[in-house]
């Protein structure tokens, strides 16, 4: 509501003046954290799914002052949402800063307590690092995502993203290598440079497996039950 937002802005402006009057960096960080938390409390009875960036920015000053794992995870989620909103507005550098802050807020044990949030946060940061020209940081996040992936679907998703990023950067050979290695991890034996005979053999096998099957029968096949393949198919369909 307008009244709540006006009150929050009033509190923010007055506390900001008080905070900047404090000489110590530590005291400044603590003060900004506290009024960021106060602003967040004011939003508790309204819509917290779209927290203003002023709130997130102030809370981020307290990165070293919060020990509670639940609070840290909540603030990591705030940064994830802020980063996604910034990316939606094409503010890619701001998006990266929020995603990085989210990763810093989220401690390693959070992979066990909230795997979904951690995977989403690391995935967004991985893609954002790559798009902002930081391949080393992106590769480190990719390795972490690989090691924490709990399903074929999760693994396929991050590999697919990296293949798209590498292809867009005109690094086709690396994209092929990543794809081949991922398929081997999933139990599929494939070579990056198949011979003509291998290609023809795979085409023949596919033809035999689908011969005399109606679309309805194919939809009910084991192939169609693979969650990873279904997810990839749905993504491709939505992009058309």
pLDDT tens digit sequence for 170-192: 888 888 888 888 777 777 777 76
Task: Give residue for tokens 């198919």.
Answer: 233
| Reported confidence tier of residue 221, pLDDT bands at 50, 70, 90 | low
The pLDDT of residue 16 is: 57
More confident residue, 9 or 2: 9
Within 10 angstroms of residue 29's Cβ, the number of other Cβ atoms is 19
The H or E element spanning position 68 is none
Burial 180-204 (b: 16+ CB within 10 A, else e): bebeeeeeeeeeeeeeeeeeeeeee
Predicted local confidence at residue 14, as pLDDT: 59
Match 């990543």 to its residue by tokens.
Answer: 178
Mean of per-residue pLDDT scores for the chain: 79
3-state DSSP assignment of residue 37: helix
Residue 225 and residue 45: Cα distance in Å, rounded?
Answer: 43
Q: Are 97 and 74 in contact (CB under 8 A)?
A: no
Between 16 and 90, the higher pLDDT residue:
90
Token code pair at residue 180: 């081949």
């Amino acid at each position: 509501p307008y009244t709540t937002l006006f009150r929050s802005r009033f509190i923010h402006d007055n506390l900001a003046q008080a905070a900047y009057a404090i000489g110590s960096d530590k005291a400044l960080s603590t003060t900004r954290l506290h009024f960021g938390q106060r602003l967040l409390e004011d939003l508790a009875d309204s819509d917290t799914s779209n927290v203003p960036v002023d709130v997130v920015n102030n809370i981020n000053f307290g990165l070293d002052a919060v020990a509670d794992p639940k609070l840290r995870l909540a603030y990591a989620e705030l940064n994830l949402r802020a980063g996604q909103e910034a990316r939606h507005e094409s503010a890619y550098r701001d998006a990266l800063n929020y995603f990085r802050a989210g990763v810093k807020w989220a401690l390693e044990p959070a992979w066990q307590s909230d795997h979904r949030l951690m995977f989403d946060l690391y995935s967004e940061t991985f893609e954002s690092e790559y798009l902002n020209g930081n391949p080393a940081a992106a590769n480190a996040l990719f390795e972490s995502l690989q090691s924490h992936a709990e399903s074929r679907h999760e693994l396929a998703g991050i590999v697919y993203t990296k293949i798209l990023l590498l292809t867009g950067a005109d690094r086709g050979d690396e994209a092929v290598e990543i794809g081949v290695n991922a398929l081997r991890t999933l139990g599929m034996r494939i070579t990056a440079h198949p011979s003509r005979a291998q290609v023809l053999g795979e085409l023949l096998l596919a033809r035999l497996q689908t011969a005399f099957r109606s679309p309805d029968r194919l939809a009910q096949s084991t192939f169609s039950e693979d969650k990873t393949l279904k997810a990839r198919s749905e993504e491709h369909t939505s992009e058309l």
